Homo-oligomer: A and B are copies of this chain.
């Protein structure tokens, strides 16, 4: 299996992505294709002191910055993201992994790989750990403005993903809203509620922000703006609690001792909750596997994102979604309604 890694992406640059990609190649017995400025990448690979077995470099002289917009995505024809996506398109790689500019990866992958039939808007799906297992949040940031049929498509893709990748039959689909009753929410969620009720889905109704981590639903559907806010708020709360906990604790000797005894367990807990660690989001609905990791990914997170890509390639999730969506004429028609 060959995984293309956008080596220019991420807040920390090639040094971190190369280190993560190389350790994935070594640990998971797969080939990584580092995509980026080739001289720089050669140098980084050498610096790591690793033999180059299992590692190829494909030159992409341009890089898209974390805050660049649509114009740059179009203008930079030889960006690492675009060339990475082309490798997947041409079958030279099985998946693309990027920790770069999310909007750029979404837009360029969609354009290069194409959307699956029946999908108007590919969406970012993220598995988060809950009290009971894993819940898929979709969309966590690909589509800031959505209409009800987009959310219905997200729900269908989420269902197929959970059934086929996690082997979970009839996953419970929740709609992220404010208040559990049918009438609660904004215009978008109210109209979406009607559609999800009528769709062949195990729709359990609205779920609230507090339910994300309780495991109440297996798939939680939202527009990409709301989903991204939910994700970033979670991140902020965890970080803030760590900082505030440190403040509380260092004031008192016994508490310090307590912290010392607990630290390994706390660290494990925070790792479970730190989504930079557990890989990345999957761009569902494009014709290929594309994983987008957190911009702040460290080498371990990059390595985990590559592992996630491997899992998705193995399970053949893209083919499964393609097949199921083909079978469900209804979604395509719904999309046109």
Identify the A interface with B (CB < 8 A).
67, 69, 103, 130-131, 141, 144-145, 176-181, 183-187, 189, 208-214, 223-226, 228-241, 243-245, 248-249, 251-252, 254-255, 257-266, 268-269, 272-273
Can you list 29 pairs linking A and B with CB atoms under 8 Å apart? A67-B179, A67-B180, A103-B179, A144-B187, A145-B187, A185-B225, A208-B236, A210-B232, A210-B235, A214-B236, A226-B226, A229-B233, A230-B233, A237-B238, A237-B273, A238-B241, A241-B241, A244-B269, A248-B268, A248-B269, A252-B265, A255-B264, A255-B265, A257-B258, A257-B261, A258-B258, A258-B262, A258-B265, A262-B262
A234 near B232 with CB under 8 A, answer no
With A144-B186, A229-B226, A232-B209 as contacts: A240 and B214 at CB distance below 8 Å: yes
B266 near A261 with CB under 8 A, answer no
Contacts of A145 in B (CB 8 A): 186-187
* Nearest B-chain residue to A223, judged by Cβ: B186
Per assembly, the copies of the chain total 2
B178 near A141 with CB under 8 A, answer yes
Q: Which of B131, B187, B189, B245 contacts A266 (CB under 8 A)?
A: B245
Q: Which of B213, B225, B231, B262 contacts A249 (CB under 8 A)?
A: B262
The CA-CA distance from A226 to B144 in the complex, in Å, is 12
Q: Which of B130, B176, B259 contacts A229 (CB under 8 A)?
A: B176
